[in-house]
């Protein structure tokens, strides 16, 4: 049996990665392809802690937000656990794994909110054992649109829900391949309708399958 492909969707909060992961899985299953969907932070023990931290519910003494390097290390630990316990077994079984975010998010969020360019090499180093995706699809959206989508949500705001920070992240994602040279990264206009974006995402994955 041929191993499956690891397909990652990335973008700022409000870009639509979660919706598009779901729609891509539905369309691939409609083509009788084996699919497993997942997300980072994972549902594992470290991922569960990270979700609490992102919601501002777990902080150290005197902290208003977790330190960027603390978050980066926890995300790297969660990623390896996620790979070993869920992603790699499904890939070996021939399933295509669709993951909502990967280490690109760590590089983007922790470098933009932390030490900037100096942090990128360090974050990539602590993630050096993470299997590389077969394709990363970036959903590019203007900062104002992403902000409007975040405000329309009913959920609790997370620690990165800051419009100026998210605007810097939009610029970072627009040039993501500069920080991951040689990786297959595809940009899709995420400002279009949900169906139009889903069609473009499926076309990119179909092209990968036939390459």
Residue 209 has pLDDT above 80, yes or no: no
Position 18 in a domain: yes
pLDDT band at 60 (very low <50, low <70, confident <90, very high): low
Backbone angles phi, psi at 139, to 5 degrees: -95, 105
Position 149 in a domain: yes
Range of 65's domain? 6-209
Instruction: Specify the CATH number for the domain of residue 14.
Output: 3.40.50.300
Pairing of strands 96-100, 185-189: unpaired
Where helices occur in 2-158 by DSSP H, the ranges are: 17-30, 45-54, 68-82, 88-92, 103-113, 117-126, 143-152
Taking CA 98 as the corner, what is the angle to CA 114 and CA 154, rounded to the nearest 5 degrees? 65
Position 126 in a domain: yes
Position 1 in a domain: no
pTM for the full predicted model: 0.92
Tens digits of residue pLDDT in 71-106: 899 999 999 999 999 999 999 999 999 999 999 999
- The closest alpha carbon to 90, from 1, 162, 16, 164, belongs to 1
pLDDT band at 70 (very low <50, low <70, confident <90, very high): confident
Position 67 in a domain: yes
Number of domains making up the chain: 1
């Amino acid at each position: 049996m041929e191993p499956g492909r690891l397909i990652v969707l990335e973008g700022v909060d409000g870009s639509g990665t979660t919706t598009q992961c779901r729609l891509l899985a539905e369309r691939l299953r409609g083509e009788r392809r084996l699919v497993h969907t997942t997300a980072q932070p994972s549902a594992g023990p470290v991922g569960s802690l990270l979700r609490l931290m992102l919601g501002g519910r777990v902080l150290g003494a005197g902290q208003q937000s977790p330190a960027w390097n603390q978050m980066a290390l926890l995300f790297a630990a969660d990623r390896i656990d996620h790979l070993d316990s869920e992603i790699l077994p499904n890939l070996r079984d021939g399933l295509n794994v669709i993951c909502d975010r990967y280490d690109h998010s760590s590089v983007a969020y922790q470098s933009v909110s932390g030490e900037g360019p100096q942090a990128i090499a360090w974050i990539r180093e602590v993630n050096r054992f993470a299997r590389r995706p077969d394709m990363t699809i970036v959903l590019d959206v203007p900062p104002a649109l992403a902000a409007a989508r975040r405000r329309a949500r009913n959920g609790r705001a997370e620690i990165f829900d800051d419009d100026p920070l998210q605007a810097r992240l939009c610029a970072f994602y627009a040039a993501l391949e500069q920080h991951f040279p040689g990786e297959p990264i595809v940009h899709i206009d995420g400002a279009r309708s949900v169906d139009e974006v889903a069609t473009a995402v499926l076309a990119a994955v179909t092209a990968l399958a036939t390459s």
